[in-house]
Amino acid sequence: GETAMHFMPDEPSLPALAEAASRCSACDLCHSATQVVFGEGNPNARIVLVGEQPGDQEDIAGRPFIGPAGHLLDECLALAGVERSDVYITNTVKHFKFTERGKRRLHKKPNSREVFACRPWLEAELGLVKPEMLVCLGATPAQALLGRDFRITKSRGQMMQTEWCDQTLATWHPAAILRMSDGERRGQMQEQLVGDLRQAVERS
Ligand code: URA
Ligand code: SF4
């Protein structure tokens, strides 16, 4: 199938990539979403955070992690001693995927075809920012960058080497923490996310 490679600018820079991605139609998600949500943040960041896919509010605003999951992430970054403006934040898939339930748009997990189609954008971002620490938030970026067999429940917080970054780790997605109904478990997951982010800060 087609991939985002087809839309890649000749001379990549972060602004050129974001502009080119706004015209990407390598998968069907561009037809239902409002707009592309490209990565943003410090172009010289030592830490890059990779989420799954923009949510409802991100789709409307055109910016990553500005909804409920983003607020929790900001809180956890602050507890880990890093500011949002210090890092670069992006997603594995750049267009929002959803199912309509009445007036609500419910987030739907991207499939492997969509992840594959979109991954040239992520690889290009990583190639430009060249982080010292790459943090995967949840299973989607972890499986895209660390392999399909990666299990977040088994290998969360473990430092690994990838072709994009010598120090790559995966941790809980903040949305998974928000969804957790068991309050005790939720608190524990949040502590683990903060601990993993702190590890990223200390090693970068
Ligand atoms: N969840 C994500 O994975 N990314 C966002 O940008 C927002 C919510
Ligand atoms: Fe292109 Fe990614 Fe959007 Fe699909 S989700 S159209 S690959 S930018």
Distance 53 CA to ligand 1 centre (A): 5
Percent of the chain with pLDDT over 90: 99
Count how many Cα atoms sit within 13 Å of the Cα of residue 43 in the half-sphere of its side chain: 9
Pick the closest to residue 33 from 54, 59, 58, 52 (CA basis): 59
Q: Quick one: which atom of ligand 1 is closest to the CA of 89?
A: 6
Classified as helix, coil or strand, 104 is strand
Q: Does 93 score more than 90 pLDDT?
A: yes
- Band of pLDDT at residue 7, cut at 50, 70 and 90: very high
**Could you give the CA distance from residue 40 to residue 15 in angstroms, rounded to a whole number?**
10
Distance 78 CA to ligand 2 centre (A): 31
ipTM rounded to 2 decimals: 0.97
pLDDT in tens, 12-22: 899 999 999 99
* Ligand closest to CA 57: 1
Distance 117 CA to ligand 2 centre (A): 7
- Band of pLDDT at residue 129, cut at 50, 70 and 90: very high
The answer to whether the CB of 92 falls within 8 A of the CB of 65 is no
DSSP class of residue 34? S
pLDDT score for 1: 77
Q: Quick one: which atom of ligand 2 is closest to the CA of 97?
A: 5
- Band of pLDDT at residue 153, cut at 50, 70 and 90: very high
pLDDT in tens, 172-184: 999 999 999 999 9
Q: Does 161 score more than 80 pLDDT?
A: yes
- DSSP H helical ranges for the chain: 14-21, 29-32, 56-61, 68-80, 112-129, 139-146, 152-155, 174-179, 183-202
- Band of pLDDT at residue 79, cut at 50, 70 and 90: very high
112-129 and 14-21 helices, crossing angle to 10°:
160
4 lines ligand 2 (CB under 6 A): yes
* Ligand closest to CA 110: 2
* Ligand closest to CA 91: 1
